[in-house]
Amino acid sequence: MAFARSIVPLCLLAVMLVGCAAQERQAQVGEVGFNPRHEVELHAEMQARNYYDYKTPKAGAVIRSNPAGALVEWYNDDGIWVAVGNTPTEQVVIEATGKPELFRVSAPGFMPAIRWVSAMPSAEGVEVDFELERELPHDRFDVDD
């Protein structure tokens, strides 16, 4: 009898805790690990990527420089300069929607040049020439202390 008296309060406490936990959110069958908001965002991102990959018009851009052999970099949407090759480049794929893309061309001993490059849907391709200017030699700087 003493055993039953000590078990009953524990059972009541367990039922109250389970009942309180169940009041927070009703569980549904098959819902383990499913986040509908995340799934909607993921689906929207995949649709945007597929649209860009398969339906957005593209054009080729050939980038040249004087002197040849300069490094060509593209400024991506994440704010990072990405190397795409050396001049003269093979065709670099850019959007043919009129949206400008930022390119930087640099070579040792020369000042880097930055330019916006864009193409319209009717464009077959774009050719861009960068004229790099020489840097001043280090002994030509006038530095006052």
For residue 44, is it within any domain?
no
* pLDDT band, residue 94 (cuts 50/70/90): confident
E-strand stretches of the chain: 58-66, 71-75, 81-86, 92-95, 101-106, 113-117, 125-131
pLDDT band at 81 (very low <50, low <70, confident <90, very high): very high
Q: Which two tokens stand for residue 41?
A: 């965002």
31 in any annotated domain: no
Counting the structural domains of the chain, the total is: 1
| Confidence at residue 12, expressed as pLDDT on a 0 to 100 scale | 63
For residue 83, what are the domain limits?
A: 56-131
Q: Tell if the pTM clears 0.75, that is, is over it.
A: no
Terminal-residue alpha carbon distance, the chain:
96
**CATH code at 124?**
2.60.40
Per-residue pLDDT reduced to its tens digit, 21-52 = 545 556 566 556 667 788 888 888 888 888 77
